[in-house]
Amino acid sequence: MLRSLRSIAGVGMLFAFVACDPPADATTTPEPARLRLTGSPSEQRVAQGAVTLFTMTIERQSFAGPVTLAADPSTIPTGVSVDFDPATLQPGITQAIARVSVAANAPVQYVAEPPLATIRVLAAGPELLRDTSSIRVRIVPSSLAGITLNATPADFTLLLGESGEGLVTLARQGNYTGSTAVQLIAVANMDLAPGNAIDHSITPVAGVPDTWRMRFSTANPDKLQDLIRMVQLIGGRLPFTVRATPQGLAPVDISVMVAVTMPTFAVTNGAARIEAGTQSTPPVSLFLQRSSRFTAPITMSIENAPPGITGTFSPNPALDDKTELTLRVAANVAPGTYEVDVLATPAANSGAAERRSRVAVTVTPTIPYRITVADLNVVAGSEATGAFNLTRLNGFAGTVSVGFTQILGIPLPAGMTVALTQGPLTQSAGTVRVTTTSATPPGTYSIQATGKTAGFQDVLQTFSVTVQAAPPPPPPPTSIVTRIAIEPRDAEVTAPATQQYSVALYNAAGARVQAETGGSIRYTSSLTTVARIDSVTGLATGANAGVTTITARYLLNGVLVQTDASPLTVYAAGAAGHYGSATISTNNNNTRTLRAGETLLFQLIVRNVAGTQVTSGVTPAPTVTTSTGNVSIAPCTPGVGPCPNFAGYFFTMTASPNATAGSTVRIRYDVMGAGGEITMTIVP
């Protein structure tokens, strides 16, 4: 039996502890220290940009020390991070959370079941106790991963023999990097294989990623006619689908519509008035109203023309939207109205059908005179004159009245007048004058001169008037002055008192500058019945009660550079108790700057309506206020401090030491019937 005794000092007592020996047949073998690590669950799926959690459990055997967890870096996939909470399990703690975070751009295989990644976790205890376990993750694409498609254009209109091309572009989302197959599919129930009505294809654009070129073309007129009839049954357009199949993701479809049309055109009717024995002057303009992009040549001819009437076209065949028909009438054709058929035949295999139109030809008797007018050029806003000649035929000596319109009776353009300077013509020559305004649109106008004489057909002659745009005004001169300030502002006077105005000039940096060489100030009053102002000196004189705007303009070599304006209120003459005017006078009546911490003495000069200065007895007393607390205003006590010891209304203006340099302060002064405002600038 083992006995142990322990004595406690200073107590004088003895305690005995007795332990019993084990039985003779019992043996004691200490358990070895061991560490075991397990992770749960065994595997998880985690998406790009997401986080998943595992539970790490340790088992201690025959030790109670701390255990540290760490992930083997060589087993952690790219774009993945692992951390533990807690990273060190203190005695008594058996579980930690392993947080697996996957970056949004972590590599991923775009397949149904991406491979598992095994991450080895290391547990380290005292005395070189170690164990390992594994957690496995399957990294799948982000829920945001995908693509979008765009087709430009998404609508096509094709004519026979025409091709159309567009681009299909793919935009990737959620860091999707997988490969994508793109198809162009005709979704209508019809045969669209190559060689039929519409050929279609889609091919990658070399050197440009995620971009494909789609192409549609038509070539077979018979097939195209059948297709047009079919398309009309399904709403006039043929639908195609662009299908993109991204690896590992669902297909994405967009629609592309193709409208198919046969080319068409129409020929306008025309009319001509022709004197027997002459030709149409000017020719008859026939317009070919082609469908969009139809450019095939069209051969023109006339049919069923009455005897004695012939015609030629220029150009022929017509290559654009217009051709000119010159008609000739033999001298023996009786006056009257005839019709000429016009046949328009498009080029073979163009797919368009021939068209017909008619030209009404009015044959008139031989005219007694002819008109000749010279073409004119005029600048909008000015006028021009030209020769007008009247050639008399067969002894005609009558008076001719002439009027002017645009061809086909269209009114003259805005602001234009055309007239003979002589009125009705009794001679063989005259002068035509064209007058325009700045509102007359530039362009060339076909003007028709119409001569009228009793007992004869009207005589027509066309000439052109070309209106040129007026040259733009000269640009404003380059000036160092970028802002001006009129002073005082919001002034008040009682008629007939005067108010002196001045102007400060500033550059782009805000510094005050002097007028440049060639610079000048001009003043105006918007209502001279309220107040007049000398345009040069800036002295305004009140006239009648009301409010007028005083405007100052800075001119450089006569060209406006900057303006500023302020209202002037004028009270009626003889208003009871009103004074005429008031102004602030600082040093040399010039100082408009104040340093921080500085005190400035100034005088408020009050004058009656006769212009005489009033130095006392003003009721109510004049007031001066400031727009900011950084500057204070105080009335002077005569003989105290900087205040003079003589009559007058003196004040001090003090800027606080912390007033901001460059800031401006508005100083308002008011007297019954008079007042105004000046601006002070705080300077360093």
**pLDDT tens readout for residues 387-439:** 999 888 867 888 889 989 998 888 899 999 999 888 788 888 889 999 999 89
CATH architecture of the domain 577-684 equals: Sandwich (2.60)
State the average pLDDT over residues 560-577: 91
By the 8 A CB rule, do 673 and 582 touch? no
Whole-number pLDDT of residue 21: 52
Whole-number pLDDT of residue 217: 84
State the average pLDDT over residues 529-557: 94
pLDDT tens string 481-494: 999 999 999 999 99
DSSP character string of 57-85:
EEEEES----EEEEE-GGGSPTTEEEEEE
By the 8 A CB rule, do 533 and 541 touch? yes
Q: Does domain 34-140 have CATH number 1.10.3720.10?
A: no
pLDDT at 345 over 70: yes
Question: Which pTM was predicted?
Answer: 0.37
- Nearest C-alpha neighbor of 564 from the set 554, 555, 552, 556: 552
Separation in Å, CA 196 to CA 160, 306, 414: 12, 47, 55
- Collapsing DSSP to helix, strand or coil, 408 comes out as helix
Whole-number pLDDT of residue 6: 35
Tell me how far apart the alpha carbons of residues 322 and 286 are, in angstroms, rounded to a whole number. 6
DSSP character string of 486-508:
EESEEEEEETT-EEE-EEEEE-T
Q: What is the Cα Rg of the chain in Å?
A: 51
pLDDT at 18 over 60: no
First-to-last C-alpha distance (Å) of the chain = 101
Question: Which amino acid is it at 628?
Answer: T
CATH of 473-575, one of 2.60.40.1080, 2.30.30.240, 1.10.10.10, 2.60.40.10: 2.60.40.1080
Q: Which two tokens stand for residue 358?
A: 């008619």
Residue 582: alpha-carbon gap to chain centroid? 50
Whole-number pLDDT of residue 16: 39
Tell me how far apart the alpha carbons of residues 81 and 104 are, in angstroms, rounded to a whole number. 12
pLDDT tens string 115-165: 999 999 999 999 889 999 999 999 988 877 888 899 999 888 887 777 889
- Nearest C-alpha neighbor of 390 from the set 362, 412, 371: 371
Q: Which two tokens stand for residue 424?
A: 């009705």
Q: Does domain 146-260 have CATH number 3.90.1530.10?
A: no
- Nearest C-alpha neighbor of 539 from the set 581, 476, 575, 592: 581
Tell me how far apart the alpha carbons of residues 501 and 287 are, in angstroms, rounded to a whole number. 68
Topology of the domain comprising 369-468: Immunoglobulin-like (2.60.40)
pLDDT at 559 over 60: yes
User: CA triplet 489, 490, 495: central angle to 5 degrees?
Assistant: 115
pLDDT tens string 232-256: 555 557 788 999 999 888 899 999 9
Whole-number pLDDT of residue 249: 83
Report CA torsion sign: 554, 559, 563, 565: positive
Tell me how far apart the alpha carbons of residues 671 and 617 are, in angstroms, rounded to a whole number. 12
Tell me how far apart the alpha carbons of residues 627 and 515 are, in angstroms, rounded to a whole number. 29
Tell me how far apart the alpha carbons of residues 51 and 80 are, in angstroms, rounded to a whole number. 10
CATH architecture of the domain 270-364 equals: Sandwich (2.60)
By the 8 A CB rule, do 607 and 582 touch? yes
Neighbours of 198 (CB within 10 A): 25
- What are the phi and psi torsion angles at 332 (to 5°)? -90, 5
Report CA torsion sign: 191, 192, 194, 197: positive
State the average pLDDT over residues 545-556: 94
Burial (0-12, 13-18, 19+ Cβ within 10 Å), 168: buried
Tell me how far apart the alpha carbons of residues 70 and 57 are, in angstroms, rounded to a whole number. 13
Query: Tokens 């020929």 label which residue?
Result: 267
Whole-number pLDDT of residue 278: 86
Domain with CATH 2.60.40.10 in the chain: 34-140, 146-260, 270-364, 369-468, 577-684
Tell me how far apart the alpha carbons of residues 637 and 663 are, in angstroms, rounded to a whole number. 29
Whole-number pLDDT of residue 589: 54
